[in-house]
Structure 1
Amino acid sequence: MTVTDDPVLLRTEGHAAYLTLNRPRAINALDHAMVNRIAGALTAWERDPEVATVVITGAGERGLCAGGDIRSIYEDARTGGGASAAFWRDEYRLNAYIARFPKPYVAIMDGIVMGGGVGVSAHGSVRVVTERSRVAMPETGIGFVPDVGGTWLLSRAPGLLGTHLALTGAAVGAGDALLCGLADHFVPAEHLPALLADLATHPAREVLSEYARHAPEAGLAAHRDWIDHCYAAETVEEIVDRLLARGEPAARETAGTILARSPVALKVTLAALRGAGELATLEQVLEQEYRVSCAALSSPDLVEGIRAQVIDKDRAPRWSPPALAEVTAEDVARFFAPLREEADRT
């Protein structure tokens, strides 16, 4: 393997260490080996007194990272394997490590940043978006539930904005990413090369103060009234009813978006978000997400959702059950049950 073939490129320059996700054809989707390589690099750089700042970027023009390698998850779920659970265990540990990393961790959230891409960036201490950023946790569209600490982040967004993003899977630009607490600074994409170079010789805070600009308008801010009212409902069914009853076209369009998602995933997502809001630490939330993710492996909607969106691309998933009213409380509770490995430790 040549250096340029490596899916994670590592280098140091001056007092900065640079980590580049290097699978541009797959928008730098993460696999297990990449997660382990990132964790190993961070451990080494944490201990290296010459490294003052860590920077993560994505190769290519399309984005930092589109998420995990869901084709692999699809095959694993179809065959009843355990590779996905092992991947998630290490990925979620990496997310927690990034959140507590003791040195400035600068995430360049340029282009597409979704799912696992949010996990390796939005827990960092310095999060930079550009006019090209599209940030999302789109899991309900594939019969899955926001993970990688996404329920921690979204449960702490202002008002009910996080619930809106979690249920719809909507992608947001720079202004809304800042509004929702998923990013810290807006830097025009044309300034990124200079910013990256300056991080090698100057403190991160000083560099960002030079390059950060006023962000584009946060579009969601104008919709806070109906978002906060509708998503305060107790159930997903009532949320949809409230959206449909509103006069704003955007609210009614949102109801249609939600109704196209996996009914099971929607109800589990709402429960996960509300549970995350009551938990005190990111680690506790990641433990909850790990239970949910492992349970999803045996849910027919995960395989069907990936099939419809990624494998066959017919965009016509056949959810099971197909309607929100058919998803029972017991169906939802199954996703939060302690795992066998937890029971073995008690």
Structure 2
Amino acid sequence: MEERVMEAHVEEVLFEERKSASGPAVGVITLNVEKTLNSLTLNMVELMLVKLREWRERSDIACVFIHGAGQKALCAGGDVQALYKSSVEQPGGPCEYAEAFFEQEYRVDYLLHQFDKPVIVWGHGIVMGGGMGVFAAGSYRVVTEKTRLAMPEITIGLYPDVGGSYFLNRMPGKTGLFLALTGASFNAADALYLGLAEGFIEHEYAGEVLNALTDVAWSTGVADNQERVFDLMAGFATRSKAALPAGNVEAAALEIEQLCAGDDDLAVIKSIIAAQSENPWVQKAAATLASGSPLSARLIAEQIRRCKGLNLKAAFQAEALLSTTIIRQPEFAEGVRALLIDKDKNPAWQHASPTEVPQSLIDHHFTAPWAENPLRDL
């Protein structure tokens, strides 16, 4: 019985080694929980961490290809219902499951960012939250005609983690801050503009791309292999060029800069909420911020500012701290309850507006809850 349970767990994420014509294999990771849009569990990230560490050291693995099962999503995020359960069962913390999940998830994301071998991430369909963490860490990130990306944590009392503190700060102008505060979704064209993707390739070519990777004459030099991946993908991107959808972010860039002008977090949040825009995409973004957690809005702005200029390791360590303090407080659980548990979409946020969030509460969230950061050894 125990063995069968383990088998069921292993199937949440599949690992395959496809031998190439030149010898070394392509390591394929399939996020395999289609019914939850491939949302990540603690079991999945633990298995991925072990396998990625193994593949990193093996000379017979040339590159890694990551995709999601089914046609709807690479990954819709972390399994927030499991995080909710951990939060409500251990109020005030430590919330063992949730905190272990964050630590292992961030280790996976950081390892992917640092992976010297090519990592191709096929970002088809929904790529949100924890899915964005995996996607952003790839060395060749593919977006398709159906890609829909977002960091919508404002709606559940969380904040854009999984490296968002790092990669959002590296987007043009104030677009990263705007996307973090509003949870606005964006598409393939937007991802290219934001520097979050290397190429647009139609999803119908996914199988061909994977087969083509096994035909590559892989080198013993990692830099050579990165170049080979880019050369291979360029052909598929050229064939797909005409299908690229129109984006929203670049067209709204000037408006975003105006709404996010200045260094006063509260003023920026108020400015976006009060936006009188003729752009429906901006209107929707502003409405999401207005209905989201006021506490999250303040924490998001503070986190983005604090992490500006930090290296990747320091950003993940900062996220480990903030995620831990948030999960031990009630706001996140209430957000998940309203959106996903009771589904009444009527969260009772702790504060009526961002103005009412006391500075002492913000400071508390940025105060380490433990003697040593769990990611100190990254």
Compute the TM-score of the two structures, normalised by the length of structure 2.
Answer: 0.86
RMSD across aligned C-alpha pairs, in angstroms? 2.0
- Read off the aligned partner of 1:195 and give its amino acid letter: V
The SS at the match of 2:135 is coil
Q: Could you say which residue in structure 2 is the equivalent of 1:329?
A: 359
Deviations 1:8-52 (A, max 9, x none): 111111231111011000111111111111111111211222211
Moved more, 226-235 or 142-151: 226-235
Encode CA deviations 1:219-278: one digit per residue, 9 max, x unaligned.
211111110121123344422443436553544554332111100001000011111113
Residue number in structure 1 paired with 2:302:
271
Structure 1 range deviating more: 94-103 or 193-202 = 193-202
Structure 2 CA distance, aligned partners of 1:95 and 1:255? 29
Q: Distance in 2 between matches of 1:4 and 1:247?
A: 47
Per the alignment, residue 232 of structure 1 pairs with 261
Counterpart pick for 1:286 among 316, 326, 330: 316
List alignment gaps of at least 5 residues for structure 1: none
Q: How big is the shift at 1:70?
A: 0.5
Partner of 1:211: 236
| SS of 2:61 mapped into structure 1 | coil
8 Å contact from structure 1 (residues 307, 313) kept in 2? yes
Answer yes or no: is 1:258 the counterpart of 2:305.
no
Q: Are residues 1:57 and 2:86 paired? A: no
Contact 1:153 1:181 in 2 (8 A): no
1:162-211 alpha-carbon deviations (Å, 9 max, x no partner): 11110111111101111112211100111111111111122422320111
In structure 2, the CA distance between the partners of 1:134 and 1:38, relative to structure 1 (3 Å rule), is same
Q: 2-side partners of 1:129 and 1:343: how far apart?
A: 34
Q: Is the 8 A contact 2:259 2:275 kept in 1?
A: no
Residue-by-residue CA offset, 1:144-163 (whole Å, 9 max, x unaligned):
01111012111110011111
Q: Residues 127 and 245 from structure 1, CA distance in 2 versus in 1: closer, same or farther, beyond 3 angstroms?
A: closer
Question: CA distance change for structure 1 residues 229 and 312 in 2, over 3 Å: closer, same or farther?
Answer: same
Distance across 1 between alignment mates of 2:373 and 2:80? 28
Post-superposition CA distance 1:106-136 (Å, at most 9, x none): 0000001111111112111110010111111
Q: 1:206 to 1:249 in 2, by over 3 A?
A: closer
Counterpart in the other structure of 1:119: 133
Q: Measure, in 1, the Cα distance between the counterparts of 2:72 and 2:328.
A: 32
TM alignment of 1:102-251, pairs within 5 A: 102-202=116-216, 203-212=228-237, 213-214=240-241, 215-243=244-272, 244=274, 246=276, 248-250=278-280, 251=282
Compared CA separation, residues 168 and 328, structure 1 to 2 (3 A): same
Instruction: Look up the equivalent residue of 1:257 and give its one-letter code.
Output: T
* Matched-pair contact (CA < 8 Å) for 2:168–2:180: yes
1:6 CA displacement? 0.7
- SS of 2:17's partner is strand
Cα gap change, 1:227 to 1:82, in 2 (>3 Å): same
Q: How many residues align?
A: 344
Q: Which amino acid aligns with 1:164?
A: F
Task: Return the letter of the residue paired with 1:270.
Answer: A
Q: How does 1:303-314 map to 2 (within 5 A)?
A: 303-314=333-344
Aligned to 1:46: 56
Cα drift, residue 285 of structure 1: 0.4
SS at match of 1:342: coil
Instruction: Give the secondary-structure state (helix, strand or coil) at the position aligned to 2:286.
Output: helix
Letter in 2 for 1:289: E
Contact persistence 1:92–1:286 (CA under 8 A): yes
5+ residue gaps in structure 2? 217-227
Once the two structures are overlaid, the 10-residue window that deviates more, 211-220 or 193-202, is 211-220
Whole-Å separation in 2 of the counterparts to 1:3 and 1:191:
30
Task: State the identity %.
Answer: 33
Work out whether residues 152 and 276 of structure 1, in 8 Å CA contact, stay in contact via their aligned partners in 2: yes
72 and 3 in structure 1: CA distance in 2 versus 1, 3 angstrom threshold: closer
Partner of residue 28, structure 1: 38
Instruction: State which of 82, 85, 93 in structure 1 corresponds to 2:99.
Output: 85
Letter in 2 for 1:315: K
Select 1:302's aligned residue among 315, 332, 337. 332
- How has the CA–CA distance of structure 1 residues 10 and 247 changed in structure 2, closer, same or farther, with 3 Å as cutoff? closer
Deviation at 1:91, TM superposition (A): 1.0
> Which letter maps to 1:21?
L
Write the distance in 2 (CA, Å) between the matches of 1:66 and 1:141: 14
Give the aligned residue type for 1:340. Answer: W
